[in-house]
Amino acid sequence: MASFETHRGRVHDTGRPVRARHSALRTCLVAFAPYGFRATYHHLCRSAGIPADLEKDPASLIRAVEELHEARRHWLADEAAFVVRRRQEKAAGLRRPKSDGSWRDPGHLSPEGLAYCPNPESHPDELLPAVVERVLRSAVPRTAMPSWCRVCGMDEAPTRWRSEYFVYRLCPRCGVSLSAERIAANRNVHVARAERWTEIWKRAV
């Protein structure tokens, strides 16, 4: 698959059909989606004002991909620093990363682990770069993790949201997942979530 930057360039290419540029934005989201693909897409549609009829505001795609690009720059800088740190730790004989209270402690090494929001319509309202930078800089002891949200700092009883296979405990303020419990599959829930996602994807809601 071509790189994030390649597809970012295609979003900017006004000589391409607007639907092809929208498809390129989708591919950028496959590579980097800090809230998860669906919630990040929904956020960008709201933040950049992507209309249901793309022809009405094709520049909204550029606004969306640039917000995503800026957030990704923060993440890439953190990745580079982590690589340097791990080399130093390995040279010192530490085979496993030190626990430092960062977002990496639970083992989430992909962008989706930054602030995963399982409900596509419930996610932070701020611009992505601000949220990503805050999460990257956050540090919290493991003892505070069960109910403490890295994004907004809330430490209150979580809400619950169910997908086909999981029940998630969410931050009641910004919708970020705090933990998840696997459950038996539920076809009805799957159908309902899929139908709602179709509406979100078409920017109908």
Q: How far apart are CA 31 and CA 25, in angstroms?
A: 10
What was the pLDDT predicted at 101? Answer: 67
List, as one string, the DSSP characters of 64-96. HHHHHHHHHHHHHHHHHHHHHHHHHHHHTT--S
Whether 102 and 23 have beta carbons less than 8 Å apart is answered as no
What was the pLDDT predicted at 155? Answer: 78
Give the HSE-up count for residue 7: Cα atoms under 13 Å, Cβ half-sphere: 21
The domains of the chain are located at 4-201
> Which residues are CB-contacts of 157 (< 8 A; sequence separation ≥ 6)?
147, 172
Residue the block writes with tokens 């920017």: 203
Q: What's this model's pTM, rounded to 2 decimal places?
A: 0.90
What was the pLDDT predicted at 74? Answer: 95
Q: How far apart are CA 69 and CA 32, in angstroms?
A: 9
The stretches in the chain having pLDDT less than 70 are 1-2, 100-101, 105-112, 140-146
pLDDT, tens digit, 9 for 90 and up, residues 18-29: 999 999 999 999
